[in-house]
Structure formats: structure tokens, C-alpha cells
Amino acid sequence: MSLAQLQEVPLRKMILLVGSPGSGKSTFCQQVALQNLALDRPIIYVTTECGPSEAEKLLREGGLGEIESGLLNFVDAYNETVGLSIPDRPDTVHADCANLSSIGVAISKLQERIGKKGVLLVFDSLVSPYLLSGPEVLRFMRLTLARFVAEGNGILACMDEGCGKQEDLGAMMSLSNGVIKMDIEEGKRILNVVKHPKVGPTRIEVPTTKISERMYDEFLKIWDRETLRRFFRAQQSGALRREFGQLVVNGFWPSFAKWSSIVWDPKRFPRMLYEISLEQGSASQAIFELFPWYIKLYFKLFFPKSFSKVKDMKKMSKFLDQMFVKPRRFGIMEYLDNISKTDEHYFRVYEWYECWGFENVGAAIASWLPPTVAGACKGLEKKEREWNAVETKCIGLGDPYCEFKVVPGEIDELKKSLEAIDSTIIERIHDHLMDRLIGFMLLGKPLWERPRLGSDLLMAGMELGVFPMASERYRMAMRMGGTKSGKEVGERLLDAGMGEDEAVKHLLHLLEHCKVGKVTVDETIKIKENYESLSYFTTKLEDISCFFTTGFLNGFFSVVKNQHVKETKCIAMGDPYCEWEFR
């Protein structure tokens, strides 16, 4: 059994690709599309995690040349869903990923336009419809997709393993004529054929090319030395945000954005957060370039050259606490010199903002501070060696505080820690956040408060303002996660008996309470001093930067007013405020 044979999707059959994010499902879909286009087989390509232009670009990079008009068609179920501009393409029909009927209608329109049988429908992927509509996807597969197959066509669809309930994935597999499980093992892509209409169970190994990618490169291009200097000067003068007092935000909001995004990519998102935080910490050396010459001279003469010894790491800890933790009210950090030893250092943090309010959820959940400290050790130490960190105690595990270990080299338990946040824990955290949010909006209950440090953070939420620059997958997860959460908030308010105008009024109160920005809604939505885009303080961006906010507003207003929104102005592009138009 060859890979090429497996890429031949039979007529009247539906094949389901199942695997963890990053296992190669989308790449397999692209390869199948290219192989079938070479045979002049018409393709309907349903995109739910990127737009048609991005999908076509990947096909071009994979070898797609000039093809007959009408052979490649797209259902764009992404751009409208997350509130992005909808390009006018003759080969595309648009749909809303949260409305399965609209996807069915779009497929039917393209099927009628093609005007013949033998069409291959590539559905990449079912994750977004599932997370927005839940088990309704099963009905969609049973009726809409099954009918498409029965009419003499074929379907290749993919679904992330570990996304949602296992019984729902099992039902999807039962509804499919073929199931191929994909995974990555030791640099090889593994395809396990669970069932197939033409071949028996088999295993195929495909070599993969390891691509070295520095996730923080794009961020470093934007935040050059001059931009950083302007940012810190504006921060010190109060020019960044006069209404709210610099970059202050209620600690609930960055947590809400982060966990809404993790719902979308539970397998890869924790690893992305770790790697980006590690990279950000290692860029600490660049910050020193902004300091006056006498401070740089002091560090050159007196700052430790190595952080192996306890006494030297203690100096490092004091520096990090005074620079990044204490002034931003992130938490109360202390270095545990009594249990630390050479090349094994322990830190304890009280009221850490990432973990506060998530008592005993079943996993260690601090994603920023531990790898940032490890990255700072790598960036500031004279030796060239890798550092890593892992939480050993956490409020999320039921401990009264958080502790983490930092060491040079690998940590055996790190992989297990990153994989411990499964779909059950994510669902528990999401429900907890949503209950707090709705309790605040309906009953005026406290949203988020710490006994000593209060509710506000300064320059927090790297997950909102900085990390999205590191990965397109990250940006997609923020857009879709925001859409899902905004949709759920709108549904809950309407279910509570609110009218449209009252629901909007409660939304404005929430955003201003969280210090997201000064929000007004009339013919458009305007947010002055928008927290998400103010983090950049640069006009270098050529596109909007409000990934989570746009998704959230789009999900909310699609439910409350049956309208989608599109961001047309953004502070990060040099506009005086962020603005969204209704459509």
C-alpha cells in the first residue's frame, strides 16, 4: 500500500483523517487535492481555519500550476466567522462556520455550478464547526455530507484528536467509510489506516523534513530598538493610555482570552506558549540596550556572568522581580535559596495572575513566568546553554501557591506537564471563566480579585498583544476562540431574557470594567485606547492586530443582532482608535 494509493479518495465514500494538531492532516489534504486536480477531478475545498487565499497559497507552494477554470472551488467558512474582510473571488462561496446550514448551502451552490458528479470535497477541518456547534456536527455529517457522498462524490475531512468529547469523535469515525489516524514519531509522519473501503488496516511511514523556525522572529522585526525606546518613553510619560492609566487591565481579561484560544488548540497551544515565552525571555539582552550607559556599565561589571550558583541566581531573581513581576502586579515572587542548589533553582509565587481563581482544576497552568525566567537565564548568561523550567506546585493543583524549577538543559517531566492540560481540564476552566463572567454581567458578582494585589495588572497579557506575532496558528486560535466565547456570552444573555439593546449595554459595561478600552456602539463599534492593539505602539503593522477582540465581538453580535463585524481601523496601524463596521 503506497501513500499515493491512500490519497485516492473513492467515489461515494467519506474518509476521515484523525490526529493531533501538527500531525500533518492539512498537508495530507493539500496533497490529495493536488493529486486529484492533476487528474482534472473537480475540488470543493472547505476552509474553516484560514481563508481561500491562504489555502491556495499553500497549494501553489505544493506545486499547483495553471488549472482549468472551475476545477478548484472554495467554501470560505473562516473569514466571515471571525470578522475578517471577505475577498471577492469568483471561485468562492462564503459561509458562517457557526451555521452548519450555511456551509451545506454553499457546498450545494458549488456542486450545482460544477454540474457533474465525481467531485472531491476536502473539508479542512471539522474542528471549528464542532467547537462552535458541538454534536450538531454529527447531524451535519449524517445528512448533508452523507447526501453529498450518495450523489456520486467523495469526501476527505479531518478532525483533531483530543478536541471535545471522545464519544463524539467515535461517532464521527463510525459515520465515515474510512478512518486514517496520523501522528509524528521520531521525525516520521505515521499514517495508521484504521479502516478503509479498499485496503485493510496498515501502517505507512513518511519521512518529514525538520524545519527550524524561530517563533519570535516576526516579533523581533516589529519590536526593533527604536520602537522599544518609543514604547518605554511613552509608558513613562503616561502617553500610552491616558484614560485608564497606562497599560492597565483587569486580570480576568487576559486569562479569558488565553483559555478561549486554548479551547481551539488544546494539544499545541500550551507548547506554543512555553516556546514563545522562552524565546521572549531570551530576548532580555535587547532590553539592556535601552538603559542609560551607567546602568549598562553597572550590569557589565557587577551582574553575574553565570547563574549556576545559588548566590548568583538570587541576584538574577531580584532583578527579574523588580523589572517584570512586582511593578506589573503579576504576583509576589521569591527565590527559594534554602532548597536551591547549583544548577537547580526554585522560585515561589503567591497570587500569580495566570493561576489565581483556578484552584484545584487538575493541572499546573502557569505558562508565562517559568519559561520566561528560563529564557532570561539563557539570554543574559555569558555561557551559551539552554535553560528550561517546569512548575512543581500550582494553585491549579490545589497548592496554596505556585512553585517552579529552573535548570540548564532538559527537564524530563516538562513534556508530561505540557501534555497534562487535556480537554476535560480545559472545559472545566472555560466553564469556570464563563460562569464568573455571566455572574458579573447578570448579578454584579465580583469578576476577579486577589487579596493583596487586587484585580488590575500593568502591561500584562503577552498572550493578547505580543505572542500572536509569533505564529499564524496562534492568531487563528485567538480569532476562533474569541468567536466561540463571544457567541456563548450572547446566547447566555438572551437565554436570561435580555433584549438586544440591554445585552449590548451589559457588554459595554464588561469591557470597560475590564479596562479593555472606551467602547461606543452606534453605526459602528469604536474602542479608544484598545488594550489589545496598544501593546504594539507601532505603525509598522500592515494589518489589524485585534485578533481576540474581533472574534469576540463578531461572535457576540452574530447572536445578539444577527450581524457580523469587520475591523476597518486599528491603533496598531496608526489609526487613533480601533473600529468595526457591521455587515
- Domain 3-207, what architecture? 3-Layer(aba) Sandwich (3.40)
What integer pLDDT is reported at residue 195 of this predicted model? 93
What integer pLDDT is reported at residue 284 of this predicted model? 64
Give the rounded distance of the alpha carbon of 366 from its chain centre: 16
> CB count, 10 Å around CB of 526?
18
Query: Do 155 and 104 contact (CB within 8 A), yes or no?
Result: no
Helices and strands, counts by H and E, the chain:
24, 19
- Residue ranges per structural domain of the chain: 3-207, 212-246+426-583, 267-421
Indicate the DSSP class of residue 269: H
431-445 per-position pLDDT tens digit: 999 999 999 999 999
Determine the Cα–Cα distance for residues 170 and 183; give it in Å rounded to an integer: 18
Which pLDDT band holds residue 227 (cuts at 50, 70, 90)? low
What integer pLDDT is reported at residue 573 of this predicted model? 83
What integer pLDDT is reported at residue 214 of this predicted model? 45
Does residue 517 register a pLDDT over 70? yes
What integer pLDDT is reported at residue 198 of this predicted model? 86
Does residue 316 register a pLDDT over 60? yes
Of 215 and 46, more confident: 46
446-472 per-position pLDDT tens digit: 999 999 999 999 876 666 766 776 677
What integer pLDDT is reported at residue 188 of this predicted model? 81
Please report, in angstroms and rounded to a whole number, the separation of the first and last CA atoms in the chain. Answer: 50
81-130 per-position pLDDT tens digit: 998 888 789 999 999 999 999 999 999 999 999 999 999 999 999 999 99
Q: Region 529-543: what's the mean pLDDT? A: 69
Does residue 496 register a pLDDT over 60? yes
Indicate the DSSP class of residue 75: E
- Burial, 577: exposed, middle or buried (Cβ in 10 Å; 0-12, 13-18, 19+)? middle
Query: Do 157 and 19 contact (CB within 8 A), yes or no?
Result: no
What integer pLDDT is reported at residue 234 of this predicted model? 59
Residue type, 294: Y
CATH of domain 212-246+426-583: 3.30.1380
522-532 per-position pLDDT tens digit: 999 999 988 88
HSE of 114, CA atoms in CB hemisphere, 13 A? 26
Query: Do 549 and 511 contact (CB within 8 A), yes or no?
Result: no
- Helix runs in 143-189, H state only: 146-150, 166-175
Does residue 65 register a pLDDT over 90? no
What are residue 45's DSSP bridge partners? 74, 122
CATH of domain 267-421: 3.30.1380
What integer pLDDT is reported at residue 237 of this predicted model? 58
Determine the Cα–Cα distance for residues 530 and 310; give it in Å rounded to an integer: 42
What integer pLDDT is reported at residue 39 of this predicted model? 80
Q: Is 497 helix (H, G, I), strand (E, B) or coil?
A: coil
What integer pLDDT is reported at residue 561 of this predicted model? 93
The pLDDT mean for the chain works out to 87
Handedness of CA 306, 309, 315, 319 (dihedral sign): positive
Percent of the chain with pLDDT over 90: 58
Q: What are the CA-CA distances from residue 179 to residues 157, 199, 292, 367, 423 (Å)?
A: 10, 11, 62, 34, 22
Query: Do 374 and 283 contact (CB within 8 A), yes or no?
Result: no
Q: For residue 41, report the phi and psi dihedrals to the nearest 5 degrees.
A: -90, 125
Considering the entire predicted model, what is its pTM?
Answer: 0.83
What integer pLDDT is reported at residue 210 of this predicted model? 40
Domain 212-246+426-583 identical in fold to domain 267-421: yes
Does residue 328 register a pLDDT over 70? yes
Q: Region 323-342: what's the mean pLDDT? A: 93
DSSP string, 180-225: EEEEEETTEEEEEEEE-SSS-SEEEEEE-------TTHHHHHHS-H
Determine the Cα–Cα distance for residues 516 and 254; give it in Å rounded to an integer: 10
Give the rounded distance of the alpha carbon of 31 from its chain centre: 25
Q: Region 157-172: what's the mean pLDDT? A: 91
Which pLDDT band holds residue 307 (cuts at 50, 70, 90)? very high
Of 236 and 405, more confident: 405
Q: Is 70 helix (H, G, I), strand (E, B) or coil?
A: coil
Q: What are the CA-CA distances from residue 379 to residues 326, 367, 529 (Å)?
A: 21, 19, 32
269, three cell numbers:
497551544
Q: Which of these, 345, 450, 354, lies nearest to 402 by C-alpha position?
A: 354
Handedness of CA 447, 448, 451, 455 (dihedral sign): negative
